[in-house]
Structure 1
Amino acid sequence: MASSEAQYESDDGMDEFMDKFKTQRYKNGFTENNWEEEFNKVPMFMKTAPEEIDPKVYPELACLQAIIHDEDRPPEEQAKSLKDEGNAFFKEKNYQKAILSYTAGLKKKCGDQELDTVLLTNRAAAHFHLGNMRSALNDATAAKKINPDHLKAVVRGVQCCVELRMFAEAIRWCDEGLKAHPTDKKLQELRAVADKHKRAAERDARKAKAKEKKMHSEKEALLAAIKARGIKLLQSVQPRRRGSDSEDEDEGSSAAISQLSLDGLSSQEVTGAQVSLDEQGSLHWPVLFLYPEHQQSDFISAFCENNCFIDHLAVMFGEELPPWDTDRKYHPQNLQLYFEDEQKETLYQVNPETSLLKVLQHKRFFVKAGTPSFIALVNGSSFGKQFLTGKKIQGL
């Protein structure tokens, strides 16, 4: 009877508590504004792990972490907990943190080879997803060294080799793995992929080698043609020594002149054109015409050595004159052509009826940067007279 009365008293007390609860707000309860934030602090309901674990903000998580990393536990247990932690990060695609956890687990040196193999293989996977192929391959190699038949380590190693374009090595990994797992479809597929890439790479290498050989032969033929004509390629401009006017000494500066190297034919990088040799054995040069009076220029990408200057001038200044020639003075028959000898500080006048080859063979003409250049002035113009004042002028 007494117990029944006590029960009733208890029930009466609960009723009193509930009545009080209805009239007074619970001070520590979640609000409509903060309930999601508060739930995210509870380990069971967390969507993502925080970057830093502050015990004041995440007391439950800090407690769990302390249990996981309890140094009093055996190294094997600690390593396994770190592996599980890394796996959790991996599932969240937080590969950087996964790597840190796997690395911490390996540092425990627990002595369990199977666990170490898994840690290495998992870390290799994390590195792989971050694009760290070399690190991933190193981990897969280390795992394979501990357990040569570990399928995941072998597969990861093959994938890394393929990404690193080490196709022969990928095939070797596959062949070794298939000895232990002869029916594994993943290894069979990877081997087929690696073999296909290997064949393609070998084919591309053969094509590149053949192309390089052809280009080398063409360059040698081009070089021989330039040398046979006595054309000089200017590698660098040597300063002229004062008090030296002799032809012999000027020719002696030919250390700057190359007839044996195509290094002086660098015009392709600047103009997109370069001297070429056609099937008939004729050279075609990129040629630059300069008009200093108007600070203008013309560029001919392929001037055949057998053509005369007047042939091109008739095209450039034919029926339609350039817009910058407002005075309409630049007619083919009204132009004077010169090339400059920088070493002797001399201008050589060129007859427009002369072929390009004859000019290039002149003893004082040096092809600079692979592009012969010429100055064009209007005959008798005031600018032309002023431009030529004080300069040494010679004919061919």
Structure 2
Amino acid sequence: MGQVEELPDDFDESLKLNDKHFKEDPSREFHANVDVPPPPPGAAGEDEAPFPINEERLKELEKDPLAPKMSAKMASVKSNTMEDIQNYMNKTPLFMTDIDNAGDEHGENPMLDAIQAIQNEGTRGEVAQNYREQGNEAAREKRWVDAKEFYTKAIAVLQAKVDKWDQPEDLAAEEKLKREVEEASFINRALANLELKNFRSTTLDCASVLKLNPANIKAFYRSSAALYALDKISEAEDAATRGLAIDPSNKSLQQVLSKAKERKAALERIAAKKRADDERTRKQKLLLSTALRARQIRTRKTNQPAEMEDAGIRLSPDPLSPESTLEFPAVFLYHMDAQSDFIKSFSEMNCIEDHLEYILPLPWDTKKEYTMNGVECFMDTVTGGLIKAGKKLPLLQILSGGKVEVVDELVRIYVIPSAKTGQFISEMKARKNG
């Protein structure tokens, strides 16, 4: 959602960003109302060392008698490793990245303690407001992770069970402030989550906002945008519609609603096509099953079917016409030589000889044993025996009647040299009895 160019709800519209004087000195409006504190104790002056000087390392660096003497600032940098400098900087709140390692050898950091104490000064509403303002600053700079964290802290202060803050003098003003900060923190955290693509969290934040203020338009917009990103189109459409009922001219909501309607129409087209495809597949399966039963052809499936890509039993040319012809994938098994040929489409009206005519002679048959008149064909029976399949009989005549079955949609035909049929039959009987 990197295109969302929207400042938090409570961005200070009074800042005259285009004012001539503001352009000349953009800090002047802030300086007028902010007391600049003196430098903290130990802060580096013009020639003071910002980091402790490593004396041993400094001696190594100053061994060269021709090298100029380093200033305190330069010595503090040169005598420390990058890791040392990073550790020192981490103890300074401005550069702090790891609060767990920000203390000294006793785990203490006076500057950090002072800042945290300042952050917790005031009433519950004032402390939450402080976090909210820090979140707003981070949001203006598009530091969305930081913004989310500050808004979360503001919400945590408002929802904490234990009240450890100052008691307000004006209860009504405090309650008003807390309610305002809570709504703003939730809606602005929703923006941060939207930018971070935490879409579900966005919808939850927006739901919290709408409990506080059912007319918050930004909650409807950000919720609908997040729901659209989650492809929850009906919910996105509903959120956008509810928002437009409050503000019919809202362009952002209009855009989300338009996109949601387009996506909904596309999904409906996809669903309609899938339903039509499923219905077509169902009818094809029903018609195929009816055709097999009418021809008394037995079929069976196992747990380990052969890989045949898109080949299978089908009605051709029209799978939805009962007048179509059945076609089967088939394999010629040259059992005595451990070879085979796959036939993707074997019509029930064709015979074995029709296919052997273009397959024979076999390129690997150096003994010339496989000829049209020199082979016999066999098929497995349902009981585990064999039948002799006439080469000139239509496949339909061989398969009908229930003596053989088509296993895993594949017709298996053994092609055996006539001189070796006795050996083949003996091997198959031994396999059956073994």
Q: TM-score, normalised by structure 2?
A: 0.66
Query: Using a 3 Å threshold, how does the CA distance of structure 1 residues 385 and 182 change in structure 2: closer, same or farther?
Result: same
Query: Residue 252 of structure 2 aligns to which amino acid in structure 1?
Result: K
Please give the alpha-carbon distance, in whole angstroms, between the structure 1 residues aligned to 2:136 and 2:342: 66
Matched with 2:270 is: 204
Matched with 1:9 is: none
Correspondences of 1:11-160 after superposition (within 5 Å): 25-26=71-72, 30-31=76-77, 37=86, 42-44=92-94, 46=95, 50-56=97-103, 59=109, 62-63=112-113, 66-67=116-117, 70=120, 73-84=122-133, 95=145, 99=148, 101-110=150-159, 112-160=178-226
Report the Cα offset of residue 306 of structure 1: 0.7
CA deviation string 1:295-333 (max 9, x = no partner) = 332222211111101111112225xx33x4343433333
What is the alpha-carbon root mean square deviation over aligned residues? Answer: 3.6
Determine helix, strand or coil for the equivalent of 1:178: helix
Please give the alpha-carbon distance, in whole angstroms, between the structure 2 residues aligned to 1:286 and 1:64: 83
Is the CA contact (8 Å cut-off) linking 1:43 and 1:60 kept in structure 2? no
Please give the alpha-carbon distance, in whole angstroms, between the structure 1 residues aligned to 2:75 and 2:385: 97
Report the Cα offset of residue 194 of structure 1: 0.9
Report the Cα offset of residue 288 of structure 1: 2.1
Is 1:340–2:380 an aligned residue pair? yes
Structure 2: gaps (5+ residues)? 1-45, 50-67, 160-174
Matched with 1:247 is: none
How much identity, in percent, do the aligned residues show? 26
Query: Residue 310 of structure 1 aligns to which amino acid in structure 2?
Result: E
Determine helix, strand or coil for the equivalent of 2:72: coil
Correspondences of 1:125-274 after superposition (within 5 Å): 125-235=191-301, 270-274=308-312
Query: Residue 392 of structure 2 aligns to which amino acid in structure 1?
Result: E
Is 1:389–2:432 an aligned residue pair? no
Please give the alpha-carbon distance, in whole angstroms, between the structure 2 residues aligned to 1:139 and 1:106: 11
Determine helix, strand or coil for the equivalent of 2:406: strand
Report the Cα offset of residue 284 of structure 1: 0.9
Higher mean displacement: 325-334 or 145-154? 325-334
Query: Residue 353 of structure 1 aligns to which amino acid in structure 2?
Result: K
Determine helix, strand or coil for the equivalent of 2:340: strand
Please give the alpha-carbon distance, in whole angstroms, between the structure 1 residues aligned to 2:274 and 2:111: 59
Matched with 1:304 is: 347
Structure 1: gaps (5+ residues)? 1-17, 238-263
Query: Residue 209 of structure 1 aligns to which amino acid in structure 2?
Result: R
Query: Using a 3 Å threshold, how does the CA distance of structure 1 residues 168 and 94 change in structure 2: closer, same or farther?
Result: closer
Query: Using a 3 Å threshold, how does the CA distance of structure 1 residues 227 and 184 change in structure 2: closer, same or farther?
Result: same
Query: Residue 325 of structure 2 aligns to which amino acid in structure 1?
Result: S
Determine helix, strand or coil for the equivalent of 2:383: coil
Is the CA contact (8 Å cut-off) linking 1:289 and 1:299 kept in structure 2? yes
Equivalences, count:
335
Matched with 2:60 is: none
Determine helix, strand or coil for the equivalent of 1:297: strand
Is the CA contact (8 Å cut-off) linking 1:335 and 1:376 kept in structure 2? yes
Please give the alpha-carbon distance, in whole angstroms, between the structure 2 residues aligned to 1:40 and 1:55: 6
Determine helix, strand or coil for the equivalent of 1:351: coil
Please give the alpha-carbon distance, in whole angstroms, between the structure 1 residues aligned to 2:429 and 2:282: 41
Please give the alpha-carbon distance, in whole angstroms, between the structure 2 residues aligned to 1:129 and 1:298: 60
Higher mean displacement: 57-66 or 330-339? 57-66
Is 1:373–2:412 an aligned residue pair? yes
Query: Residue 409 of structure 2 aligns to which amino acid in structure 1?
Result: G
Query: Residue 275 of structure 1 aligns to which amino acid in structure 2?
Result: I
Please give the alpha-carbon distance, in whole angstroms, between the structure 2 residues aligned to 1:328 and 1:127: 77
Query: Residue 339 of structure 1 aligns to which amino acid in structure 2?
Result: M
Please give the alpha-carbon distance, in whole angstroms, between the structure 1 residues aligned to 2:208 and 2:375: 78
Please give the alpha-carbon distance, in whole angstroms, between the structure 2 residues aligned to 1:147 and 1:43: 37
